[in-house]
C-alpha cells in the first residue's frame, strides 16, 4: 500500500471566495502513483471549506448569498469577545463542510460528470493550507 501527502496554500485577494481546485487535486493523485484508493482533501483552517459542487459562477454567487442568509456576518457573536470578527466564517464553513474524500479508480479521480472539488474561503487575505492525503495501491 502507498501513502502520499501534499499541501496546497491559497491566499485569496478578498475575504470571501470560491475556487475550483480539482486540477490541483488531480495532479497530486497522479504524482502519488496510486491507481486505486482514496484521497482526502481537508481544509487545515477553521474558517474555510472543501466541498463538491458545480463549476458555475452563478451558482457560486447563489451559494455565497445563501450562506450569508443562514450565517450572517454581524458583530453580535460571543466569539468576538476574544477580539476576532469572523464567527460567521466558522459557521459558514460548517454548512458546506471542511473536507471531502474522493475515490481513485484506474489512477484517476472517480467522479461524476459535473463533480468538481471546491475551496470555500470565508476569512481570506492570508495564506491558508489544505492537506491532501492519498492512500491506496
What is the number of other CB atoms lying within 10 angstroms of the CB of residue 70?
11
Q: Which residue, 13 or 113, is less far from its own copies as judged by CB? A: 113
- Size, binding site for its own copies by CB under 8 A: 57
Distance of CA 86 to the CA centre of its chain: 18
Q: Does position 27 bind its own copies by CB under 8 A?
A: no
Decide: residue 75, CB within 10 A, 0-12 exposed, 13-18 middle, 19+ buried: exposed
Cβ 94 vs Cβ 122: under 8 Å: no
Q: Does position 79 bind its own copies by CB under 8 A?
A: yes
Q: Find the part of the chain contacting its own copies (CB under 8 A) among 11-19, 21-29, 104-112.
A: 104-112
Instruction: Supply the minimum distance, in Å, between the C-beta of residue 112 and its own copies.
Output: 3
Q: Does position 61 bind its own copies by CB under 8 A?
A: yes
Amino acid at each position: 500500500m502507498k501513502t502520499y501527502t501534499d499541501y496546497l496554500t491559497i491566499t485569496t485577494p478578498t475575504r470571501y471566495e470560491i475556487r475550483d481546485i480539482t486540477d490541483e487535486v488531480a495532479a497530486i493523485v497522479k504524482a502519488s502513483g496510486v491507481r486505486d484508493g482514496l484521497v482526502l482533501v481537508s481544509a487545515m483552517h477553521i474558517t474555510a471549506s472543501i466541498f463538491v459542487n458545480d463549476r458555475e459562477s452563478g451558482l457560486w454567487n447563489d451559494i455565497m448569498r445563501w450562506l450569508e442568509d443562514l450565517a450572517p456576518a454581524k458583530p453580535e457573536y460571543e466569539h468576538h469577545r476574544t477580539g476576532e470578527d469572523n464567527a460567521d466564517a466558522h459557521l459558514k464553513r460548517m454548512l458546506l463542510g471542511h473536507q471531502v474524500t474522493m475515490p481513485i479508480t484506474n489512477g484517476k479521480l472517480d467522479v461524476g460528470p459535473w463533480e468538481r472539488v471546491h475551496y470555500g474561503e470565508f476569512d481570506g487575505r492570508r495564506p491558508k493550507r489544505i492537506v491532501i492525503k492519498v492512500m491506496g495501491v
